[in-house]
Structure 1
Amino acid sequence: LAAACGHDTLRVRRAPRAALLVFGDELLTAGPPAAGRIRDALGPAVPAWLRRYGCQVRPSDVVGPVADTLPAHVAALRSALANADLVCTTGGTMNGPVDHLHPTLEALGADYVVNTVAVRPGFPMLLARLTGPDGRARFVAGLPGNPQSAIVALVSLVAPLLAGLQGRSMPLLPQVTLAEAVPGRGDHTHLALVRLDRAAGVASPVRHVGSAMLRGLAGADGFAVIRPGTSGQPGDRVPIVPLPLFPGERTS
């Protein structure tokens, strides 16, 4: 197409390179959960999401679990930022005794772009910016440790960032008709997992949607947007944040 239009050269943007740091001494990377420890679900999942949004992520760019100490966090993030345009982290976005992401960002001189969002689930997400030695901006996206909350941060915070880094605009959110009631979350936006019935043209909330659960997410098509101070009623038209299709998934 470019040649047919008479262009001999084109300016292009390279795909952003991303890295992932998994925080949490309580995490296991193999075998079933046991002895008060839980299996890391985000280390295996997040790189595929980042690739779907146009990033380069190599196996060596996934590091963790990183020890729950401030020096370990600072060292891991500094190392990841040396080669990545975007570093995603999982967990540690709150201000508990073993949550070291905020002090780490302060130690590295980062500036917050977003520091928590009035959304449920996923409110403790964050986005910070640093300037590298080459003068280019690098970004750190802090994903909450609960899996569904982390995916909310990916679709609502990381996806728009990556679109901007690649010179793409975000499409307008499509609208869906609710088949069932969806509760609101007070003064927070509720991103409610739903499954589409394309034949009937409606969306129904899925079950098993606690922020730490993956079962509901696995059967969902997207997040219905229930605005602050409202609830969704059957027949209401609401925006939906679609989940991206991965290679091999059906579109109908």
Structure 2
Amino acid sequence: MEQVNGPTTTTTTATSNLTSLPHESPYPSVSVDEARHLILTQSSPPGIEVIGFTEAYGRVLAETIYADEPVPDSLTATMDGCALRTVGEDIAPGECLLTVGTPLGAVEIGLLATIGRTCIHVYRRPRVAVFSNGSELVEPGMPRQPGRRRDSNRYALLAAVHEAGGQAISLDIVHDDERVQREALVRALSRADIVVSSGGVSVGVRDLVRPLLAEHGTIHFGRVQMKPGQSTTFATVHGRLVFGLPGKPVSALVAFEVLVRPLLRQLQGDTAPGRPRVRVVLDEPFPSVPDRLSYHRAVVEWHNGRLTARSTGPQTSSRLLSLRGANALLIGPATDHVYAPGEELDALLIGTLQSTHPTTSSAKSQAAMEKIPAGGMDKQLHVSYTWVTQRKDSQRRLFGIVVGIPFPRALNWKTPGQASQW
């Protein structure tokens, strides 16, 4: 993560026409789907770069990889003619190994090493500059003062950018001053492909982000029909994408999750940039909101063969604890309906699923094990021992291959006690 320090500033009062702000938003409210469409229509195709395969973990492949030679390239055997591997048995010449859009993990990097591909084409990671707006903000290491609060948004958003695969660039806290805000925007645009700020997008006198963006670029939407995150703003300035997220911590992170993260993943060549969407059964009542989608922080887990959802607690947009432990955002339709326990809703999975009970397969396996009588396994091993000791060496070799016991051990299997050690 890159840290860019700007000049130290003091709070002053903005004196230009930016301070003549309406007390109601002049921007029509768009749906979440409309907002996503507007974002994607303004984004450019993903860039491509060449990197070494040892640096490719977590990246997305931008080319199709074929094998140039067979693996193995000659007839091989471990010993005594056993475990023969023919030419090209593992990988055939010309075989397609990896395709465009493949996320590169341990197996993929191992395949690249196997065929000797040390340099590959991958999609470039977008550079994302992040800063927080607000004269009331202080750095996390500073002493707390009356009327001030620590800047948590910038660090949470930087981590979110990193988790989404972007190159995070950290800028300073930006005070509520027109000149300072303009300088911060110019500095961010010069360093990044995408700018993400938090705060300053409401309709107060000190909320300067929207009029500044309107002055220097084009605002594509200034409100979104979602809760939290209604005041999220999206603009383009000199070909760069700029997101103005709300100042409340949960609102900023939820808006990032719903609108910004899919863009970052798509710019990196991800063919499925959105989070997985699943159907869940409610464990408790869930009130929806009439005029917008609501994203309720929840825990989704397997319970008796189905996915269930429960709330993480109070859902105020300032309570960051509502996201701690949440592995899903429960999507409430725009309605005044109160959903009862047992009803179903969609949820975006933002974390790992949990299980409160053994899965069906593990339960069946346990039941099957319990049905084996005492000494049953020993009896099976004894039968195998008796059969092996009565066979010729060639038959013992074949037995070892079938059951996975190395040939010397199968050949020298002398006592029943040895069987239990293998």
User: TM-score with structure 2 length normalisation?
Assistant: 0.53
Gaps in structure 1 of 5+ consecutive residues: 132-136
Separation (CA, whole Å) in 2 of partners of 1:118 and 1:198 = 31
Gaps in structure 2 of 5+ consecutive residues: 1-63, 68-95, 99-116, 356-422
Assess, with a 3 A threshold, how the Cα gap between structure 1 residues 221 and 20 changes in structure 2: closer, same or farther: same
Determine which of 83, 96, 103 is the counterpart of 2:211: 103
Q: Shift of the alpha carbon at 1:244? A: 4.8
The equivalences for 1:80-119 within 5 A come to: 80-109=188-217, 111-119=218-226
SS in 1 for 2:181: helix
Separation (CA, whole Å) in 2 of partners of 1:166 and 1:150 = 22
The equivalences for 1:4-43 within 5 A come to: 4=67, 5=96, 12-29=122-139, 30-31=141-142, 33-43=144-154
Separation (CA, whole Å) in 2 of partners of 1:54 and 1:150 = 18
Q: Comparing both structures, which one devotes a greater share of its residues to helix?
A: 2
Assess, with a 3 A threshold, how the Cα gap between structure 1 residues 107 and 196 changes in structure 2: closer, same or farther: same
Determine which of 58, 71, 74 is the counterpart of 2:179: 71
Q: Which amino acid aligns with 2:237?
A: L
Partner of 1:134: none
Separation (CA, whole Å) in 1 of partners of 2:308 and 2:136 = 40
Separation (CA, whole Å) in 1 of partners of 2:343 and 2:265 = 30
Determine which of 26, 47, 50 is the counterpart of 2:158: 47
SS in 2 for 1:122: coil
Q: Shift of the alpha carbon at 1:208? A: 2.8
Q: Does 1:126 align with 2:233?
A: yes
Q: Which amino acid aligns with 1:53?
A: A
Separation (CA, whole Å) in 1 of partners of 2:298 and 2:143 = 29
Partner of 1:155: 257
Q: Shift of the alpha carbon at 1:179? A: 0.8
Determine which of 294, 315, 319 is the counterpart of 1:213: 319
Separation (CA, whole Å) in 2 of partners of 1:6 and 1:49 = 31
Partner of 2:334: 228
Structure with greater Cα Rg: 2
Determine which of 296, 301, 311 is the counterpart of 1:197: 301
Q: Which amino acid aligns with 1:206?
A: T
| 8 Å contact kept, 1:194–1:204 | yes
RMSD of aligned C-alpha atoms? 2.3
SS in 2 for 1:218: coil
| 8 Å contact kept, 1:32–1:39 | no
Partner of 2:31: none
| 8 Å contact kept, 2:301–2:354 | no
Separation (CA, whole Å) in 1 of partners of 2:229 and 2:347 = 16
Separation (CA, whole Å) in 1 of partners of 2:260 and 2:97 = 36
| 8 Å contact kept, 2:300–2:354 | no
| 8 Å contact kept, 2:228–2:255 | no
Separation (CA, whole Å) in 2 of partners of 1:15 and 1:145 = 26
Further displaced range: 225-234 or 31-40: 31-40
Separation (CA, whole Å) in 2 of partners of 1:11 and 1:114 = 35
Partner of 2:167: 56
Q: Which amino acid aligns with 2:264?
A: L
Determine which of 153, 167, 191 is the counterpart of 2:269: 167
Q: Shift of the alpha carbon at 1:32? A: 5.5
What are the superposed Cα offsets for residues 101-138 of structure 1, whole Å, 9 maximum, x if unpaired?
012112322x223321111111001221233xxxxx31
SS in 1 for 2:265: helix
Separation (CA, whole Å) in 2 of partners of 1:45 and 1:189 = 23
Percent identical? 30
Q: Which amino acid aligns with 1:130?
A: V
Partner of 2:290: 186
Separation (CA, whole Å) in 1 of partners of 2:211 and 2:197 = 14
| 8 Å contact kept, 1:70–1:103 | no
Separation (CA, whole Å) in 1 of partners of 2:321 and 2:232 = 22
